[in-house]
Amino acid sequence: MTNEKTVREPLFHISKRDTLPWWKCWLIRIAAVFAALVLSSLLIIVLVKKNPVELYASIFNGNFGSGTKTWLTFQDTAILLCIALAVTPAFKMKFWNIGAEGQVLAGCLASAACVFYIGSSVPNWLLLVIMTVCAILAGAIWAVIPAVFKAIFNTNETLFTLMMNYIATFLIAFFLNKWVKSGSGTLGILEDGHFPVIGDNPSLLTVLIVLFFAAAMFVYLKFSKHGYEIAVVGESVNTAKYAGINVKKVIIRTLILSGALCGITGLLLVGAINHTLTTSLAGGRGFTAIMVSWLAKFNPLYMILTAFIVVFFQKGANQLASDFPTLMTKDFGDIIVGIIFLFIIGCEFFIGYAIKFRKREKKEKTAEVTE
Amino acid sequence: MKKLLTLLLTATLAVACCFGFTACGETADIKTVDIPEYDYMYSDVEVPSDYKVGFIFLHDEKSTYDLNFLEAAKEAKLALGLSDSQVIYKFNIEEGQACYDAAKDLVDQGCKAVFADSFGHESFMLKAAKDFPAVNFFHATGTTAHTENVSNFHNAFADIYQGRYLAGIAAGMKLNEMIKNKTKINGTVVTAENALIGYVGAYTYAEVISGYTSFYLGAKSVCPTVKMKVQFTGSWYDEVAEKAAAEALISKGCNLISQHADSMGAPSACEAKGVPNVSYNGSTISKCPNTFIISSRIDWSVYFKAMIASTAGSEEFEIPTDVSVPMQAGAVKLTALNANVMAEGTVEAIYQARNKMFNGELFVFDCANFTVNGEHLTSYKADVDTDPNFEKDTDVIKTATVNGQTITYFAESVFRSAPYFDIQIDGVELLNSKF
């Protein structure tokens, strides 16, 4: 009898929801963004005593303030999207590849090396072909090394791919030292190996190429046999084995694809955008891309949206720092962006799960028992 | 019972905190001595209200290097009476296409002048300069403007080696005082024979070599027997590595530490061990009241003001293609001296040397004052242009006649603004090298 007293129904409990209709999902998401904006507005009013609308306008201007800015937003979205597309098949397979940063850098290094060594001695079209092949190879090699170890020795791919990032970074530092005779480690602009510019818009080609990859990746994952195998391996390795899928082969094949796409991102960074090589060309996007991919639930088409959201707020935070230098540092912009992200990511929980509160009558009943 | 214990613990903690904080509040009496300012002329300019200027930073104010630029920009803004909307800052701009994009955006917003602060921004600033000929682009620490001949692209530096030389005098004076007083550093009495400076450098680049050599020569000018050991960290900002390097130098017998890196690593190591420190980029006296002597820094506001004035239509200043702004113009500053740590007579010694320097009687890299492999330099070729050959092709040794005597000296920052003194002189030992 005494035990019964202590058994109390909690204030609320959580239960898994049935799949919600799509419009309800979006209603929850929009409500979350709205709640985030309200909370950040309060913070802005209390902490920096500014009109929140001014700050939101600044975030918007940072992305779409001019034609140049708009295209840069699209270009940055494209690059982030491309890396997110690259990590997606591996993650879907539950292969925790956090080495996209290094794979992109390997692609950068390979393409820059092509320009540096043979740039002036071959025609530009041939150079671009060679760069593409080398970048794809480099990215693929960087990804396949941990994949092989995982497939054969079952090593931890998270640590392995992470370490490969450092190796790629320092390889670039090494080659910069070797190439730049003045010892400053700064390469400057490479004159050869520039991708053609469509019209007079230097970002358009990158955007188109990545959009193509997004569509291709969607088809690959959803409709191809490979895509199905990746999904099965991700759900359960044993099921995959039982179904006669060669798991090792799938792991290695998928990582080659992943790495190759990272390599292409590196190629775009060097050949179409930066025309130089530094250790920070990937700029942490190899990691951000993982979030982009997860947020989109590994759906390449949703990723276009999630990549855009991430880029939008990153650029917005920078613009805030630029527009309000006397009031705040970049940290404040990051706080606002962080709150908005927290709500966007957090609301997915409410889409998947329902919260049920304890009912009134029950409470009264337990009260009676204690009496 | 548990609750009581928690309460008790919290109370103790709170009391301890109070004591802790009061202990922090009680810093030793900090007394400083200002070095009398050298008078330099500067006249006011009217900047039109539609004039805009943009600044591109590699990081933001969390890096002392960028902070130094930002504060100079703010000072220029204040001095010239510019409004918030006339000055646009771009933070965290990578050394790649992002720099070009930032510059382009600044041009789109109507900037007449664009400044960038990091070495790796250079080729992208140059590209922007070629694409937007109506806007002037200014790049600090760069090396190509004097050979590129793009009329709206400019490089700048400051004669920081002059400031370091003077800071070196403060170090030498301190060593002399320690020798005289038989002060013990790290358990050993300082003597004329073991007077040893430790120097924490970032990279084995000309900029750092030029910096520590001028500092050493300043110290040597008052303490002739001094030697120096240099250790590089391989990073412009690495607090742990800088601290470790300073501690290693102290354990190797260094009696005084200076640094050319951007964190508090070396100064705080010195404060912990009680070793005098000559700092860089700004005063560290508040955190190191018992060891800080003096610090030198580049004051970019002088250059910013002049360049903003000229691009705003003033004809008072010309826009130089490549300039190292001399200390005389206010581009290199010394902080106030720490009265509790500096040696007696330091102010006078610095003051005298500075006057001689400004009058053209004293040259920091006077070849008579240092030897390379036991011999005085009579000629030296440096690679001051950035032709693809990277050959040392320009003779940078010059002579001057002062009071009827001929002085042979290494002409630093004359053939181009960025430092190119990269010689290992006798008395300075490099413990490692980092590129």
Residue at A260 is within a domain: yes
Can you give the CATH number for the domain in which B124 is found? 3.40.50.2300
A188·B122 Cβ contact <8 A? yes
State how far residue A277 is from chain B, nearest Cα, in angstroms: 8
Residue at A60 is within a domain: no
Residue at A221 is within a domain: yes
Residue at B62 is within a domain: yes
Residue at A68 is within a domain: no
Can you give the CATH number for the domain in which A250 is found? 1.10.3470
Contacts of A322 in chain B (CB under 8 A): 88-91
> Do both A104 and A34 map to the same domain?
no
Asked if the C-beta of B131 comes within 8 angstroms of chain A's C-beta atoms, the answer is no
- Residue in chain B nearest A68 by alpha carbon: B105
Range of the domain at A142: 74-323
ipTM, interface predicted TM-score of the complex? 0.76
Q: Each residue of B262-302: pLDDT tens digit?
A: 888 999 999 999 999 999 888 889 889 999 999 999 999 98
Residue at B235 is within a domain: no
Q: Which residue has the higher pLDDT, B347 or B60?
A: B347
Number of CB atoms found within 10 A of residue B245's CB: 27
Closest CA to A183 of A173, A191, A192: A173
Closest CA to B250 of B291, B309, B296: B291
State how far residue B410 is from chain A, nearest Cα, in angstroms: 20
Residue at B401 is within a domain: no
Residue at A299 is within a domain: yes
Asked if the C-beta of B96 comes within 8 angstroms of chain A's C-beta atoms, the answer is yes
Which amino acid belongs to residue A136? I
- Residue in chain B nearest A185 by alpha carbon: B435
Residue at B83 is within a domain: yes
> Do both A106 and A178 map to the same domain?
yes
State how far residue B48 is from chain A, nearest Cα, in angstroms: 21
Q: Each residue of B217-251: pLDDT tens digit?
A: 999 999 999 999 999 998 888 889 999 999 999 99
DSSP A218-239: HHHHHHSHHHHHHHHHHH-HHH
> Do both A213 and A359 map to the same domain?
no
> Do both A228 and A248 map to the same domain?
yes
> Do both A117 and A194 map to the same domain?
yes
> Do both A235 and A126 map to the same domain?
yes
Q: Tell me the residues of chain B between 50 and 69 that have a Cβ less than 8 Å away from chain A.
A: 60-62
Q: Each residue of A22-32: pLDDT tens digit?
A: 888 889 889 99
DSSP annotation of B237? S
**Pairing state between β B381-382 and B394-395:** antiparallel
Q: Each residue of A249-280: pLDDT tens digit?
A: 999 999 999 999 999 999 999 999 999 999 98
Q: Which residue has the higher pLDDT, B318 or B175?
A: B175
Question: What is the band of B427 on the pLDDT scale with cuts at 50, 70, 90?
Answer: very high
Residue at B356 is within a domain: no
- Residue in chain B nearest A274 by alpha carbon: B97
- Residue in chain A nearest B144 by alpha carbon: A188
Which residues are paired to B394 by β-bridges? B382
Q: Each residue of A139-193: pLDDT tens digit?
A: 999 999 999 999 999 999 999 999 999 999 999 999 998 898 766 778 888 989 9
> Do both A142 and A289 map to the same domain?
yes
Residue B140 gets the label, from left (phi > 0), alpha (psi -120 to 50) or beta, of beta
| Helices assigned H by DSSP within B182-258 | 206-222, 239-251
Asked if the C-beta of B75 comes within 8 angstroms of chain A's C-beta atoms, the answer is no
Range of the domain at B69: 2-21+43-159+299-331
Question: What is the band of B387 on the pLDDT scale with cuts at 50, 70, 90?
Answer: low
> Do both A229 and A290 map to the same domain?
yes
The pTM assigned to this predicted structure is 0.80
Question: What is the band of B18 on the pLDDT scale with cuts at 50, 70, 90?
Answer: very low
Residue at A40 is within a domain: yes
Number of domain units in chain B: 1
pLDDT above 80 for B77: yes
Number of domain units in chain A: 2
**Calpha distance B300→A313 (Å, rounded):** 32
> Do both A235 and A339 map to the same domain?
no
Question: What is the band of B28 on the pLDDT scale with cuts at 50, 70, 90?
Answer: low
B143·A183 Cβ contact <8 A? no
Closest CA to A108 of A139, A83, A77, A76: A139
> Do both A287 and A151 map to the same domain?
yes
Return the pLDDT at A334.
79
> Do both A139 and A282 map to the same domain?
yes
Mean pLDDT over the full length of chain A: 88
User: Percentage of chain A with pLDDT > 70?
Assistant: 92
Residue B70 token pair: 């930002």
- Low-confidence spans in chain A with pLDDT less than 70: 1-7, 182-183, 325-330, 360-371
User: Percentage of chain A with pLDDT > 90?
Assistant: 58
Residue at A56 is within a domain: no
Residue at A266 is within a domain: yes
> Do both A144 and A241 map to the same domain?
yes
